Amino acid sequence: MLFDRSDPFLRLSLSIIIPATVVTVLFFLFVVGAGLKAQLLPVKTGREAMIGQTTRALTKIDRDGGKVFIEGEYWNAVSDEAIQEGETVEIIAIEGLTLKVRPKKESR
């Protein structure tokens, strides 16, 4: 269709078509496979990744609030239990720009 096959020098050889097709298929399989694999990776940043992390309380934290420093940022934090400055806390939820924390249970 694209070539006038009446002239032998204008014919496209199968020794060119087959390797070019195989290379193209392998390339696209690699790209699609890498994209699908990336979609299945766990979340590593952002809001979802912060839940469950631990940090130290910078100030006293209670129902009225307090401060923590995590992932390079200062955050407001609240807790149902009173937490003293320097105590290790675990992030259990994020509500707007405030972290809900609880004292980290020490496992021994």
pLDDT tens-digit map of 6-22: 766 666 778 888 999 99
- Looking at residue 3, its pLDDT comes to 60
pLDDT score for 25: 97
Read off the pLDDT of residues 37-87 as tens digits, 9 standing for 90 and up: 999 998 788 888 899 999 999 999 999 999 999 988 999 999 999 999 999
Domain layout of the chain by residue ranges: 8-39, 47-103
The CA distances from residue 24 to 1, 33, 34, 36, 37, in Å, are: 21, 14, 15, 18, 20
- CATH homologous superfamily of 47-103 equals Nucleic acid-binding proteins (2.40.50.140)
Q: Does pTM top 0.85 for this prediction? A: no
